[in-house]
Amino acid sequence: MTERRQLSGGRLVLATHNKGKLREIAELVAPYGFSVVSAGELGLPEPEETGSTFEANAVLKAVAAATSANLPALADDSGVVVAALHGDPGIYSARWAGPAKDFAYAMKRVEDGLKGKSDRSAYFVAVLALAWPDGHTEVFRGEVHGNLVWPPRGEKGFGYDPMFVPEGRSETFGEIEPGEKHAMSHRAKAFSQLTEACFGRKTG
């Protein structure tokens, strides 16, 4: 097995233009001594997500940002996988929200697809890819399983959070406090693997 490449402090590009993801990832990264800058702040374009998996798209985005900025870059590709919709929206979760990125519309599309179906199980996937300017990448995947509810509840999350209730809870991700969500989410699980493998100790 190839040894993981370490990254300790310094500047790190967060390769996302999604404000919700940017906020969550910045909060997760903060204790490790990184000075973070977003792809949007650097004026980097959003690459077309042509991969057929979460892993491929995360790597594509991380490598594009790292090579353009000549800095290490962290990218996330995530979405919700709905069993009764044959895995949709999956890697197309953001696209289901349309050009306006209207996730109320996206959630309604999911709910319309579930009409008449008894299986409302779903799971969130987050894949984090850490890339260096030389093209080296490290990839980590996290999942959290649960069920979908309607109507959506809560305004504390983003994306599909207001209709997703994680296993063992009664609140949606839109109702759970951000700090608590960070401790249990798909992104937190992927991030935990990443920090153990690639980041130094927490600062402070």
* 16-43 residue pLDDT tens: 877 877 887 888 888 888 888 899 889 9
112 belongs to the catalytic site: no
What's the first-to-final CA gap in the chain, in angstroms?
A: 32
At residue 4, the pLDDT reads 83
The number of C-alpha atoms within 13 Å of 150 and in the hemisphere containing its C-beta is: 13
Q: Using only the alpha carbons of the chain, give its radius of gyration.
A: 17
Beta bridge partners of 125: 79, 143
What are the phi and psi torsion angles at 99 (to 5°)? Answer: -60, -30
Q: Cβ neighbours of residue 93 under 8 Å, at least 6 residues apart?
A: 78, 79, 80, 106, 159, 160
Does pLDDT of 200 surpass 80? no
- Which of 43-52, 75-84, 126-135 is least confident? 43-52
At residue 13, the pLDDT reads 95
pTM of the model: 0.89
Does pLDDT of 2 surpass 90? no
| Structural domains present in the chain | 10-198 (3.90.950.10)
Distance CA 125, CA 79 (A): 6
At residue 134, the pLDDT reads 94
Q: Is 37 helix (H, G, I), strand (E, B) or coil?
A: strand
Which pLDDT band, with edges at 50, 70 and 90, does 202 fall under?
low
Q: By the 8 A CB rule, do 150 and 160 touch? A: no
Q: What is the pLDDT of residues 119-165, one digit of tens each?
A: 999 999 999 999 999 999 999 999 999 999 999 999 998 899 999 99
| Average per-residue pLDDT for the chain | 91
Span 71-78, mean pLDDT? 94
Span 170-185, mean pLDDT? 92
Span 64-68, mean pLDDT? 95
At residue 189, the pLDDT reads 93
Span 61-70, mean pLDDT? 95
Q: Which of 76, 77, 88, 134 is catalytic?
A: 77
At residue 201, the pLDDT reads 67
